[in-house]
Structure formats: C-alpha cells, structure tokens
Structure 1
C-alpha cells in the first residue's frame, strides 16, 4: 500500500510539473472579436492618452486571433481598423522583439500560468517606464483581457467568432 501511495504521489507530482511547464489550452485558440469594454477610457486616460486619441482608439474594431504555429510555438494577431500587430512563432517564456500597436519596438514575453495567458511588453525606447502586462482568461467561451495602469483596471470581452 505504501509503495502504491508513493508511486501515486510521484506520478501526481510529475504530471503537475509537466502542467507547470504549460502549454496554452485549446480553449484559448480561435478568432475573437471585441464585444464590450469596462473602464477602457479611464485606463487610457491614466496612461496619459489625450481625449481625441482616446475616442479614435475606442472606435477601432479589434479582433484577436490566437493559434498554434504549425512550425513552432504560437501565433497572436491583433487586428484593428487602425493598425495590426502579428506575432508568429513565439514560445512561452522566451522574449522577442517586435512592433507594438503604438508603432514602437517592444520586448515581448508571453507566459501561461494558473489558467492565465500573460503578454508582457517593454518599449525599447523607454525601458525604465514602459512595462505593461496584459492578462487573458477564457470565461463563458469569451476571451477576457485585463489591463491595469495607475490603479485603474480595465477589462475587455471578446466573443469567439463563428467564422
């Protein structure tokens, strides 16, 4: 009985460690279109975005596409009516450089832990003051994006596209 219990514990710990190494679960993959936002204007204002630009940003159509990359890693596409960012072939925990929605070069790192996909950005032109992290979860088959800046929490809900 003790041997059985010990083997069970070792198997459980090994499975937990593999899960901790983590891959993004299938439920995160797909095409998601912006449905609604909470505190988005306040969030942008806290970042110092002016009123006119906030109105333009809020009117932009936003679609997010998350998929496994056929060669290696994952793909994340942010498709907007103003600008697109397309990150292909990234791997969890590995930093890469690419352009952000603001048009600046960023260091970007994606991670997955405890059911949350995080996307961390640091602008190369202002590394000491520009760190931002976006948190994605799946709730009721919707992709939920959470962002925090200067004490303001913003959430944006994206409906899974049937197309």
Structure 2
C-alpha cells in the first residue's frame, strides 16, 4: 500500500516537473516572440524611406478653421493658425525616434515618437493628447490622437515632393498640403 502511494507521489512529481518545464518553455517562447515584435517594430522604423524626411512648408489649406473648431480650438487661436504658413520638419533620429517639428511665427513645437508606440503629444493649442502613429507602406503615416473626449485621425500621404494631410474629427475633414523646401 505504501509502495503504491510512493509510486503515485513519484508520478505526481514527474507531472509537476513536466508542467514546470512546459511553463518555462512557454515563457521563453513568449520572450522570443516579444523580442521579435520589438525587432519588427525597429525594422519598420528603418523601412520608412529616407526621402520622406526633410523640411516642408504649408502651401495649401482647406477647411482647417472648421476642423480646429471641431477639436475645440478657440476663435483667436484658429484665426492665427489660419494666417500662418508653418514649416514642418520630419527628422529620423539616431535613437530610433522620429521627430516632427512644427515652426510657426508664434510657436515652435517638437513631438518625438516611434512607429506603433503610444506617446504623449502636445498640440499647437497646448493640449496634451495620447497619440499613436503607424506607417502604412509605401507612403503613409496614419496618426490616431485622443484627447479628453475626441478621437482625431491624421493621414499624411507622401506624394512626390509633397505631404497631403487629411485631418478628421467626427464628420469634419480638413485637407492641407506641405511642399518640400530643402
């Protein structure tokens, strides 16, 4: 009798060792998968064509005032924004980040991000939002931005020496064109 109990205990120990080994193997697989995902994201950073990086200037703007109103920008700030023709610099940084710098006569703003990673972004109106930028090959940055109550989407499409920017909030769309200046 005690011998059969001993055999049961040994079988139980073997099962526990097997379960522990399986859990450890799964943890290793999960870590490897996570590392592969990180490497894939870093590779995606490098897959963005160098021709997209550079300096651009706003050359066309349609329905921007309505878009700014929809996202809650005040009257005076909207009027000032519509009068300026800001520069936009897109820079690939050595640490894997992308910097988007907006230079207007009244303000300069830099936001740094990595593709497919959430980040806090400060808008030109001073509001801090949560953002995520995806690169859609061959030529689009799609940005999702969330403030307290709104979801905003920006589609930046690189065509020749221009960036066509469609900004969408609720049912309001704005279209702007930035032309390369460097």
| TM-score interval, smaller chain | 0.7 to 0.9
* TM-score, structure 2 as length reference: 0.66
- Which has a greater percent of strand? 1
* TM-score, structure 1 as length reference: 0.73
Distance 1:138 1:74, change over 3 A: same
Distance 1:27 1:132, change over 3 A: same
Cα separation, 2, equivalents of 1:97 and 1:48: 18
Task: Note if 1:75 corresponds to 2:99.
Answer: yes
Cα separation, 2, equivalents of 1:101 and 1:41: 14
Local SS of the residue matching 1:144: strand
- Considering Cα pairs closer than 8 Å and 6+ residues apart, tell me whether 1 or 2 has the greater RCO: 1
Q: Which runs of structure 2 are paired with 1:1-163 in the superposition (5 Å)?
A: 22=44, 23-88=47-112, 90-114=113-137, 115-123=139-147, 126=148, 129-162=149-182
- Structure 2: where are the runs of 5+ without partners? 1-39
C-alpha RMSD of matched pairs (Å): 2.3
- Structure 1: where are the runs of 5+ without partners? 1-17
Higher Cα Rg, which structure: 2
